[in-house]
Amino acid sequence: MFAQRAKPASVGRVGLPFTIMGVVNVTPDSFSDGGTFSDPVAAIVHARRLAGEGAAMIDVGGESTRPGAAPVPAEQEHERVVPVIEGIAGLNLPVQISIDTMKVAVAEAALDAGASYVNDVTAFRHDPDLAALVADRGVDCCLMHMLGEPRTMQDDPRYDDVVDDVKAFLLDRMHVATAAGIPEERIYLDPGIGFGKTLEHNLELLRRLDELVAIGRPLVVGTSRKSFLGRITGRDVTERVHATVATTVIAFERGAQVFRVHDVAATLDALQVAAATFGRWPAIPTRTTTTKTT
């Protein structure tokens, strides 16, 4: 079995009814920022910036899961992510570090380096031993819905009812996780917006997100800069911040709690206003400004 290692307490922004997960891709081919943070130093600096902007979690990934992406060998993925996670952990930031991987060997090395959350887009289907690792280490995990695999997931995706089908999948994978010894309170769920879904499927999931929230586990939503937003707005991938923020507020209103985004500052401002408006959090200023209005 895997050697156990103590897990640091989960970190969140005190008093906020949501958690922002900042994305740090250390890949050459991610759809939105491929190659930008391939250098470990640049990735670590970016993580510190995201934490300063309000991210309570940092999600480090070394394998692109964009539509059509080719698999990356575990050794190469390991070389990409471990130095970055070690560097982030060494900064002692008030964040929880997540490893975005489907491979048990990569996850184990990442946990040894300082991560305490495993974000698996295959929900332990690619490497079933990953569930045992999460259970033995006593860390958190996110189980995501994806139709097929990244190379094929957008090849004519079909559902009887996308929300019902995704809900059934998440319930099944949660059962697999708990059967492997993972406490239910360690499990987060992600409907996989953009992973084997059409534009219509993504919008239906957002409209009926409360049906997935009803499962009773924190729901992670990742719409950041995705192509369906570009289809709606006509914007390039680098110009989808406003569209991302809109979907984030919609998801928060419907009960989602964790938001995986590239643009942390804009997301934090929007969610603070939404939380104050919905009565879930007092409108206490976190910054001072000299701007005056009449």
- pLDDT tens digits, residue range 176-230? 999 999 999 999 999 999 999 999 999 999 999 999 999 999 999 999 999 999 9
Mean pLDDT of the 6-16 span = 49
96 contact partners, CB below 8 Å, separation of at least 6: 8, 10, 11, 56, 57, 58, 116, 117, 140
- In the chain, where does DSSP find H-type helix? 40-53, 74-90, 104-113, 129-137, 162-179, 199-207, 209-213, 227-233, 241-253, 264-277
Backbone angles phi, psi at 118, to 5 degrees: -115, 120
Q: How would residue 3 be classed by pLDDT, with cut points 50, 70 and 90?
A: very low
49-65 pLDDT, tens digit each:
999 999 999 999 999 88
CATH number of 19-277: 3.20.20.20
117-157 pLDDT, tens digit each:
999 999 999 999 999 999 999 999 999 999 877 666 667 78
Q: How would residue 289 be classed by pLDDT, with cut points 50, 70 and 90?
A: very low
- High-pLDDT (> 90) share of the chain, %: 78
Positions marked active-site: 226, 260
Encoded tokens for 75: 């050794």
| pLDDT, position 274 | 96
Q: How would residue 280 be classed by pLDDT, with cut points 50, 70 and 90?
A: confident
Say how many CA atoms lie within 13 Å of 215 toward its Cβ. 28
Average pLDDT, the chain: 89
Residue in the structure block whose two tokens are 């999600």: 59
Q: Residue 29 pLDDT > 90, yes or no? A: no
| pLDDT, position 128 | 96
| Axis crossing angle, helix 264-277 with helix 241-253, rounded to the nearest 10 | 30
Mean pLDDT of the 65-94 span = 91
Q: Which of 32 and 206 is assigned the larger pLDDT? A: 206
Separation between Cα atoms, residue 246 and residue 249, nearest integer Å? 5
For the sheet with 258-261, list strands across it: 187-190, 140-144, 117-120, 96-100, 57-61, 19-25, 258-261, 220-221
| pLDDT, position 152 | 65
Mean pLDDT of the 160-172 span = 97
